[in-house]
Amino acid sequence: MSYYYKAETVRQAIAGQWLFVLASLAPELEPALRKPGRHVPCPIHGGKDGFRLFKDAHETGGGVCNTCGTRHDGFELLMWLRGWSFDQCLMEVGDNLNAEKLYRKAQRIIPPAQQDRQKLPEAKTSRFSSKGELVNFGPARYEHKPENEMSYFATLQSAHGIERTIWGVDIERALTESGATCGDKVTMLNRGREAVTVVREVLDDHGELLHEESIATHRNTWEVINHSAVREHEQTETTDRLCQAQSNGGQSASRLRVVACEQPIREEETLADEEASASTTGVVPLFKETQQGPDWLHAVQTKMEQQTERRKRHDAQPGTQQLKILKVWDECLPIASEIAAPLHRYFQERKVLVRFGTLEQGDSIRFHPNLPYWEENAEGRMVEVGTFPAIVTAIRDVDGQLITLHRTYLSNHGKKAKVAECRKMMSVPEGLDLNGGAIPLAEPVEGILGLAEGLETALSAYRATGIATWSTVNAQLMKTFECPEGVHTVIIWADRDRSRTGEVAANVLKARLEANGISVIVLLPQLAIAAKAKGIDWNDVLVGQGILGFPPVRQLRSFIENRRSRSM
């Protein structure tokens, strides 16, 4: 009998047990499991120090690959290592834990005589179709040529790895309605042309906007089928059993149509199948009373639990973490200070020297001349290894309240400090939530706000366009960002990663904000990713091409205004 697991049930069962599950399902993680929080050879790419598990991996199961990026929990980590879908991963982890199973309802067979009454309506004919994985999409000038009009594109990758880019203004609507995002399997159907009136820019010989005019034309209409949104449930075992038990009246079994039945399975069937499953799988439950694993793994688990308990006791003291955050923030200096020379050199090398006075008004970026750097020693205790200059930024919630601080440790010469992790975020105080927060670098003007992951990327977009741009620090916080009041348009300067993490995060946020009536434009760098690089961002564009590598500000604002006028 077919069974499945509820994700929430498995998550509850695996609480605090990720080390044992990872050791069982991914034995190649042993070097990382022996040294959580320490860099070890990557299980995918090899090398010497390309991977590490989180310091709380026994609770989260997450880790970081220096090439592919962060895997936030054990499910993401196993999906990355094994190439599993989430459903496959859930089944493997559930079986490993011997978690509570749920059984599918019985099914009945519809005779061929009744099938005619249940035929699906005929699909519309299409003039063109393309199928593949959605790898990129967004607004851009047609064929990415500066002299062409703004349009919208979607790039699909076939099963053979061949990419094809499709252009059309209506693609934006079709993608939004389908809910598709990067990584989804889709089919794009051209449904023909319809008469429309569009606004066209009229430019002078120097490329400056003279005026706009309305013209009558035709536009292709599109439909996007999002195959990844359709979850297929396994029915093989039940179908075979029912087909054998019931006569098919001489008809071929392939013509029998199976649908869900309203009656639940009899209790004795469920119990019998559960007993059969338990007797054949040989799975040993991994709850605390019966944990299986080598002695060294138990020792690591015990050590991590003790460290977690010490941190909880420390953070439970009233106001402890808030006081630490405020102390560091109060010790910082304005970025315009002469003492902040390492910060100035760091920004200058990345070509993001913007007006410091404007940034200081936002009060979300400061400089610390000698910030202590702490690291965990071999005994699992935190020790100070030195002090370094540091860029300190404030992560604030949607109301502007300080949540925590992000630190970038530097050398005196404006390079990244030679420490294990030059970028660190202070722990979030108990009772506060990091989700939805960002580093607000300047106040939005005229309802338009830019958004980027990294600080340097946000400063690059701000310098190139003059549009206030905030940093979400990472892709996960990009997904959860809460937009401040008064903003009607968000421009996301997305990172272009080989793993497509930045694109996915940008489009997750896009779908959520647009559902709330906020217009969103996702812009990706069009530069090729270097052979040994994990990706490129808009700071790479600024360093390599200067401001000319960005969309012209006048045309970007014109596109926003035209879109707003059409939506009103």
Q: Which helix (H) or strand (E) holds 10?
A: helix 7-13
Selected residue with higher pLDDT from 140 and 416 = 416
This model's pTM is above 0.85: no
Supply the pLDDT for residue 423. Answer: 92
Q: Other CB atoms closer than 10 Å to residue 450's CB: what's the count?
A: 27
How many whole angstroms separate alpha carbon 152 and alpha carbon 140? 6
Q: Contact 492/449 with Cβ under 8 angstroms?
A: no
297 belongs to a structural domain: no
412 and 325 belong to one structural domain: yes
Q: What range defines the domain where residue 416 resides?
A: 320-425
Residue 393: helix, strand or coil by DSSP? Answer: strand
Residue 344: helix, strand or coil by DSSP? Answer: helix
Number of domains in the chain: 5
Supply the pLDDT for residue 49. Answer: 78
- φ and ψ at 524, to 5 degrees? -115, 140
**200 confidence band (pLDDT: 50, 70, 90):** low
112 and 241 belong to one structural domain: yes
Q: Contact 153/166 with Cβ under 8 angstroms?
A: yes
Domain end among 209, 227, 245: 227
How many whole angstroms separate alpha carbon 473 and alpha carbon 39? 22
How many whole angstroms separate alpha carbon 74 and alpha carbon 83? 13
pLDDT at 410 over 90: yes
Sign, CA dihedral 140-144-148-152, equals: negative
378 belongs to a structural domain: yes
Q: Contact 344/353 with Cβ under 8 angstroms?
A: yes
CATH of the domain at 496: 3.40.1360
Supply the pLDDT for residue 567. Answer: 76
269 belongs to a structural domain: no
245 and 111 belong to one structural domain: yes
Q: Contact 389/372 with Cβ under 8 angstroms?
A: no
Find where tokens 């099938």 sit: 115
How many whole angstroms separate alpha carbon 494 and alpha carbon 503? 6
Find where tokens 């790039």 sit: 155
455 and 554 belong to one structural domain: yes
pLDDT at 84 over 50: yes
In eight-state DSSP terms, residue 255 is: G
CATH of the domain at 165: 2.40.50.360
Region 248-256: what's the mean pLDDT? 38
How many whole angstroms separate alpha carbon 89 and alpha carbon 83? 9
Q: Contact 377/406 with Cβ under 8 angstroms?
A: no
Region 402-410: what's the mean pLDDT? 95
Q: Contact 371/353 with Cβ under 8 angstroms?
A: no
Question: How far, CA to CA in Å, does 64 sit from each of 16, 24, 68, 264, 419?
Answer: 19, 19, 8, 44, 17
248 and 113 belong to one structural domain: yes
Q: Identity (one letter) of the amino acid at 435?
A: N
Question: How far, CA to CA in Å, does 12 sit from each of 24, 53, 164, 274, 426?
Answer: 18, 21, 43, 21, 27
Q: Contact 37/62 with Cβ under 8 angstroms?
A: no
459 and 558 belong to one structural domain: yes
Supply the pLDDT for residue 468. Answer: 93
310 belongs to a structural domain: no
Selected residue with higher pLDDT from 262 and 482 = 482
Write out pLDDT tens, residues 120-134: 444 444 445 678 888
479 and 559 belong to one structural domain: yes
pLDDT more than 90, % of the chain: 34
Supply the pLDDT for residue 314. Answer: 57
- φ and ψ at 171, to 5 degrees? -60, -35
In 22-105, where do the E strands start and end?
Answer: 40-42, 46-53, 63-65, 69-71, 102-103
In eight-state DSSP terms, residue 516 is: T
Query: What's the mean per-residue pLDDT of the chain?
Result: 79
Selected residue with higher pLDDT from 249 and 524 = 524
Find where tokens 């349009």 sit: 151
Q: Contact 540/525 with Cβ under 8 angstroms?
A: yes
Most confident stretch, 62-66, 272-276, 465-469: 465-469
391 and 475 belong to one structural domain: no
Supply the pLDDT for residue 274. Answer: 38
Tokens of 127: 């003039």
pLDDT at 184 over 80: yes
Supply the pLDDT for residue 117. Answer: 46
Domain end among 271, 290, 309: 290
Supply the pLDDT for residue 222. Answer: 86
pLDDT at 207 over 60: no
CATH of the domain at 370: 3.90.980
421 belongs to a structural domain: yes
117 and 136 belong to one structural domain: no
159 and 189 belong to one structural domain: yes
How many whole angstroms separate alpha carbon 228 and alpha carbon 40? 35
pLDDT at 241 over 80: no
Rg (CA), the chain: 28
302 belongs to a structural domain: no
pLDDT at 304 over 60: yes
pLDDT at 212 over 50: yes
pLDDT at 145 over 90: no
Region 213-217: what's the mean pLDDT? 66
Most confident stretch, 34-43, 244-253, 280-289, 537-546: 537-546
Q: Which of 271, 153, 179 is nearest to 524 (CA)?
A: 153
Supply the pLDDT for residue 449. Answer: 96
Write out pLDDT tens, residues 417-447: 998 889 999 989 888 899 999 999 988 989 9
How many whole angstroms separate alpha carbon 324 and alpha carbon 427? 10
Q: What DSSP line would sit under 67-85, residue for residue?
A: TTEEE-SHHHHHHHHH---
113 and 69 belong to one structural domain: no
311 belongs to a structural domain: no
pLDDT more than 70, % of the chain: 77
407 and 465 belong to one structural domain: no
Sign, CA dihedral 420-426-428-430, equals: positive
Write out pLDDT tens, residues 475-532: 999 999 999 999 999 999 999 988 888 999 999 999 999 999 999 999 999 888 888 7
**286 confidence band (pLDDT: 50, 70, 90):** very low
Q: Which of 366, 348, 419 is nearest to 388 (CA)?
A: 419
Write out pLDDT tens, residues 344-372: 999 999 999 777 777 877 789 999 999 99
Sequence-ordered alpha helix ranges (H) in 356-492: 356-362, 455-465, 475-480
How many whole angstroms separate alpha carbon 60 and alpha carbon 83? 19
315 belongs to a structural domain: no
pLDDT at 546 over 50: yes
pLDDT at 47 over 80: yes
In eight-state DSSP terms, residue 211 is: E
Q: What DSSP line would sit under 423-434, residue for residue?
A: EEEPPPPTT---
